[in-house]
A and B are shown apart, each in its own frame.
Chain A
């Protein structure tokens, strides 16, 4: 294992398969994603097969299987953002970062996620960089933000 977080998570939930989702959530919180080895450890601790663990993990949108980027970019594509041009924002990010949603840029600096409603529809369309929310975005504003962050 990459570090010591896994044994303590496993010990706490040992032999309780109903805890699978919280265990996966804690594991992802510890590593930023679900490494292959961690899935194996989770399966062993909860007395499940690896395929069962993998089956549940891939079902839910929250779990990722590749390391996240240094910065986390989310594009809201809830209904309000969609009708106000959220799709254009996603295109800009895909073009500029060179990645699709769910991927991490080659240099590891950004990962991109599309979400269905952050819940600030009044500010649509919305893009978030890490914890910061940028509302009433436009293609030009977003390009400007990326320029400022030095993203070619």
Chain B
């Protein structure tokens, strides 16, 4: 395959893609990423197939990746002949039957309607991308996710796939490096190091074997940007890796991906085989002197392997333990050779920069943080999902405009996962860029945004993150191994109501020590959640330590379950569900809850909330209120 043949193949792909939009038979799209599947997309497909068979409708079924608004899943898009693709949300198997029936009659089911994805307007149907969650977004990396069939290389080609690679191959590597430099792209794994500078160090190290590693070991709990991207558009990552490898002079590449992402791995395997078939991977790519191939390495479950030197140790078959730097991997990495490790998003951004030019990319973002960034927006926010916004967008815009705000009162947002910090209301107008978040005491991180409301306990959340990093500490250096353990123990003491004011000072001192003296990024950033929480939510720590009170009514040793006599109708639902017989009747009279027996499992609270005759007669409240 050479450039001319690829152009010919792309022309055919464009025709086929256009043919799909103008199809004379109905086309049905279902988002079957991991998140869609969890929401029931595979059952939805079965229902659609059954309905099509029963009505003897000849339709084409296309499986696409995740388009972003997870809270609307499963999504079903129907494109009738002569109509644009129309998207419906929260489609159960039963609803699918109704929606399809209406669509076959040329009607639109308003109840589930989200919008259409056509080029032109369509009567009475809003545009999908005008939806409040999508309108403020700029989709560059995610441009194909949810739009194309990730297993169909022609879909990717039809949407200018591998154009960036062709441009890259036609230029000397120095020009490509210059392009990446001018684009202002910085590492999207979270550290934000300028991509071009890291590359140049690697390129300038003399060696006949350089390696490129894609870090897809997305380990932050609550972050799934990379998985969705790979599941929805795997070729974008491959093209990005090719561009990086060409610039670096690397002939071997690895994708280090979590074994917990089976669907992403499957899609990558398919894409790699397709690329090899077309001569886009292997020897003499597109007839040039450039040769490159990719091997998938499955991570075996260790958060610390996101650290560069630990990741290399893992690929070499050892425990994922970091080593001191320098030498940096760009100089001496995998098997002692110059190695570049880039995050999935960094790499998948490259084809767009090459295709549209660095100035186009750099015009998004701020002075120092160019371009866009993907985030997984989750927690107590109304509209959860995967989003992409220009850097410089404020936290308020993301949480309130895109996320639709918080059902209960907003309390804080955690950026950067277990390595980041929680920022309260006074930081809502902070622009999301590397410097502003760092100045506020948090970090950009890889892209997890977890929204907390007034029912979330800040001390408990800090304990949660610390417990995570403590469990994931590799144990090599003392500050991290021992320090994080003591931090967790201190937080546990405070959550049990057994802490004192002096424990807060101890927390701060120890956190600073762990932060300043750990060997790698895991330990250096592990104290961030507790430091930022102490800084901005000190009152809540004091409430636990001094008043022995958890204002959010979360910490189990500081809450009680209580029956509000005036509201209880004595329906006995709680008596039935209590696993330890802590609640007693008699029927039709206010029940008694024995505090000594209660294991605080929450069953009674839930049934009273949703199933009981009166409702809300059982409350969880801070101890010592009543």
Chain A: minimal CB distance from B378 (Å): 4
Tell whether B306 is near chain A: CB-to-CB under 8 Å.
no
Which residues of B lie under 8 Å from residue A22 when comparing CB positions?
297-298
Q: Which of A59, A79, A84, A85 contacts B319 (CB 8 A)?
A: A59
Tell whether A99 is near chain B: CB-to-CB under 8 Å.
no
Which residues of B lie under 8 Å from residue A119 when comparing CB positions?
34-35, 38, 224, 227-228, 261
**Whose C-beta in chain A lies nearest to the C-beta of B475?**
A59
Judging by beta carbons under 8 Å apart, are A19 and B222 in contact? no
Q: Which of B34, B297, B298, B456 contacts A120 (CB 8 A)?
A: B34
Beyond contacts A122-B35, A138-B602: 11 other A-B pairs, Cβ-Cβ < 8 A, are A17-B317, A21-B317, A63-B300, A77-B221, A79-B221, A116-B303, A117-B224, A121-B224, A138-B606, A140-B611, A143-B579
Chain B positions 55-111 with a Cβ under 8 Å from a chain A Cβ: 70-71, 73
Tell whether B318 is near chain A: CB-to-CB under 8 Å.
yes
Judging by beta carbons under 8 Å apart, are B70 and A83 in contact? no
Q: Which of B384, B474, B601, B611 contacts A91 (CB 8 A)?
A: B601
Tell whether A4 is near chain B: CB-to-CB under 8 Å.
no
0/1 string, A109-134, CB within 8 A of B gives 1: 00000011111111110100000010
Shortest beta-carbon contacts, A-B, top 5? A61-B301, A79-B222, A122-B70, A60-B300, A120-B38
Chain B: minimal CB distance from A129 (Å): 13
Judging by beta carbons under 8 Å apart, are B38 and A133 in contact? yes
Task: Give B residues with C-beta under 8 Å from A.
Answer: 34-35, 37-39, 70-71, 73, 219-224, 227-228, 259-261, 297-298, 300-303, 314-320, 376, 378-380, 384-385, 414, 417, 448, 450, 452, 456, 461, 464-465, 468, 474, 577, 579, 601-603, 606-607, 610-611
Judging by beta carbons under 8 Å apart, are B222 and A117 in contact? yes
Judging by beta carbons under 8 Å apart, are A120 and B39 in contact? yes
0/1 string, A25-45, CB within 8 A of B gives 1: 100000000000000000000
For the complex, give the distance between the alpha carbons of A123 and B39 in Å: 7
Which residues of A lie under 8 Å from residue B379 when comparing CB positions?
79-80, 83, 121
Judging by beta carbons under 8 Å apart, are B450 and A79 in contact? yes
Which residues of A lie under 8 Å from residue B38 when comparing CB positions?
118-120, 123, 126, 133, 135
For the complex, give the distance between the alpha carbons of A85 and B227 in Å: 24
For the complex, give the distance between the alpha carbons of A143 and B37 in Å: 23
Which residues of A lie under 8 Å from residue B611 when comparing CB positions?
140
Chain B: minimal CB distance from A2 (Å): 22
Judging by beta carbons under 8 Å apart, are B259 and A25 in contact? yes
Which residues of B lie under 8 Å from residue A118 when comparing CB positions?
34, 38, 260
Most B Cβ at <10 Å: residue of A77, A83, A140: A83
Judging by beta carbons under 8 Å apart, are A139 and B603 in contact? yes
Judging by beta carbons under 8 Å apart, are A122 and B384 in contact? yes
**Whose C-beta in chain A lies nearest to the C-beta of B72?**
A122
Tell whether A78 is near chain B: CB-to-CB under 8 Å.
yes
Judging by beta carbons under 8 Å apart, are A20 and B317 in contact? yes
Which residues of B lie under 8 Å from residue A60 when comparing CB positions?
300-302, 320
Given the known interface contacts A59-B320, A83-B456, A126-B38, the answer about A121 and B298 at a Cβ–Cβ threshold of 8 Å is: no
For the complex, give the distance between the alpha carbons of A3 and B556 in Å: 48
Which residues of B lie under 8 Å from residue A62 when comparing CB positions?
259, 300-301
Tell whether A55 is near chain B: CB-to-CB under 8 Å.
yes
Which residues of B lie under 8 Å from residue A92 when comparing CB positions?
601
Which residues of A lie under 8 Å from residue B464 when comparing CB positions?
79, 82
**Whose C-beta in chain A lies nearest to the C-beta of B224?**
A119
Tell whether A73 is near chain B: CB-to-CB under 8 Å.
no
Chain A: minimal CB distance from B183 (Å): 29
Tell whether A10 is near chain B: CB-to-CB under 8 Å.
no
Which residues of A lie under 8 Å from residue B456 when comparing CB positions?
83
Tell whether A95 is near chain B: CB-to-CB under 8 Å.
yes
0/1 string, A65-100, CB within 8 A of B gives 1: 000000000000111101111001001100100000
**Whose C-beta in chain B lies nearest to the C-beta of A121?**
B378
Judging by beta carbons under 8 Å apart, are B417 and A79 in contact? yes
For the complex, give the distance between the alpha carbons of A18 and B137 in Å: 43
Judging by beta carbons under 8 Å apart, are B300 and A122 in contact? no
Chain A: minimal CB distance from B571 (Å): 15
A-B contact list, 5 entries, CB within 8 Å: A21-B317, A59-B302, A121-B224, A121-B384, A140-B603
**Whose C-beta in chain A lies nearest to the C-beta of B35?**
A120
**Whose C-beta in chain B lies nearest to the C-beta of A58?**
B319
Chain A: minimal CB distance from B320 (Å): 7
Q: Which of A18, A91, A140 contacts B577 (CB 8 A)?
A: A140
Judging by beta carbons under 8 Å apart, are A83 and B385 in contact? no
Given the known interface contacts A61-B300, A80-B378, A119-B35, the answer about A18 and B222 at a Cβ–Cβ threshold of 8 Å is: no
Which residues of A lie under 8 Å from residue B452 when comparing CB positions?
83
Q: Which of A59, A117, A121 contacts B70 (CB 8 A)?
A: A121
For the complex, give the distance between the alpha carbons of A123 and B319 in Å: 34
Judging by beta carbons under 8 Å apart, are A139 and B318 in contact? no
**Whose C-beta in chain A lies nearest to the C-beta of B220?**
A117
Tell whether A56 is near chain B: CB-to-CB under 8 Å.
yes
Which residues of A lie under 8 Å from residue B303 when comparing CB positions?
116
Judging by beta carbons under 8 Å apart, are A88 and B601 in contact? yes
Chain B: minimal CB distance from A135 (Å): 6
Chain B: minimal CB distance from A90 (Å): 11
Which residues of A lie under 8 Å from residue B222 when comparing CB positions?
78-80, 117, 121
Which residues of B lie under 8 Å from residue A121 when comparing CB positions?
70, 222, 224, 376, 378-379, 384
Which residues of A lie under 8 Å from residue B461 when comparing CB positions?
82-83
Judging by beta carbons under 8 Å apart, are B450 and A143 in contact? no
Which residues of B lie under 8 Å from residue A56 when comparing CB positions?
317-319
Most B Cβ at <10 Å: residue of A25, A77, A80: A80
Chain B: minimal CB distance from A81 (Å): 8
Q: Which of A63, A79, A84, A143 contacts B414 (CB 8 A)?
A: A79
Which residues of B lie under 8 Å from residue A85 when comparing CB positions?
602
Judging by beta carbons under 8 Å apart, are B601 and A139 in contact? yes
